[in-house]
Amino acid sequence: MSYIKVLLLMLIVAVITACSPSAEEAFSQAESEVRSVVLSSEDIESNYSFDRFDAYKPEDFQVTDENPHNVVFNDGDQPYVLFVNEFEEPNSQWFYNRIENEGIFLRTIETDGAFAYIHAIEHGDDQYEVHLGIGGIKMSTITNLSQVEDDAKLMIEIISSVEQNEEDEGEE
């Protein structure tokens, strides 16, 4: 009887493992989401005003901290941090050039007017620190493989929606 339970347990583990995406698969799918938003000609409308810029804020996100260049959002217990360097153009590689650890995933997307990247570092058991950026705008969170595709899509939509307030452009 216990032999059957062991076999059944092994079968369940094998099925769960086979159905779960590998890190490479999960981040490749996330890259695909990022790429489609970066290459899209559709604008993402901002719906929230901050001190120096406007941006899209998903309905479920709460703003928990804000200063002129950074915003911390929370979706439940998950924080997302948005960094805005208004002195950098969309094709800037400023944030990208500061990546010191290539981590487990690092890809870039370039268009005529923009330089984007997705970067992931393993951060514990099924936890990954994910950074996305376009030029001088970057967003980070800690997520797991089952959520990385959705999180990447939300973050790139927020990043893509950022519009500097004209009266504040170039000011410190």
Tell me what pLDDT residue 167 has.
Answer: 61
Give the Cα separation of 82 and 139 in Å (integer). 4
pLDDT of 172 reads 47
Alpha-carbon span 20 to 110, nearest angstrom: 30
- CA–CA distance, 76 with 62 (Å, rounded to integer): 8
Residue 14's pLDDT is: 46
Average pLDDT, stretch 59-77?
Answer: 95
Q: Is residue 15 part of a domain?
A: no
In a domain? residue 9: no
Token readout for 59 is 């309905």
Residue 14 domain flag: no
The answer to the question of residue 138 being in a domain is yes
Residue 26 within a domain = yes
Integer CA distances (angstroms), 81 to 8, 73, 128, in order:
43, 6, 14
| 70-92 b/e (C-beta count within 10 Å ≥ 16 → b) | ebebeeeeeebebbbebebebeb
Number of independent structural domains in the chain: 1
> For residues 79 and 63, is the Cβ–Cβ distance under 8 A?
no
103 Rama sector, left if φ>0, alpha if ψ -120 to 50, beta otherwise = left
For residues 130-145, average pLDDT: 96
* Angle subtended by helix axes 148-161 and 23-39, to nearest 10: 20
Report the mean per-residue pLDDT for the chain. 87
**Is 62 inside any structural domain?**
yes
Q: Does some domain include residue 16?
A: no
pTM metric for this prediction: 0.83
Distance CA 120, CA 141 (A): 10
> What domain range is 134 assigned to?
21-168
Residues 114, 40: contact at Cβ < 8 Å? no
Is residue 4 one of the residues assigned to a domain? no
For position 53, which CATH number holds? Answer: 2.60.120
Distance of CA 81 to the CA centre of its chain: 9
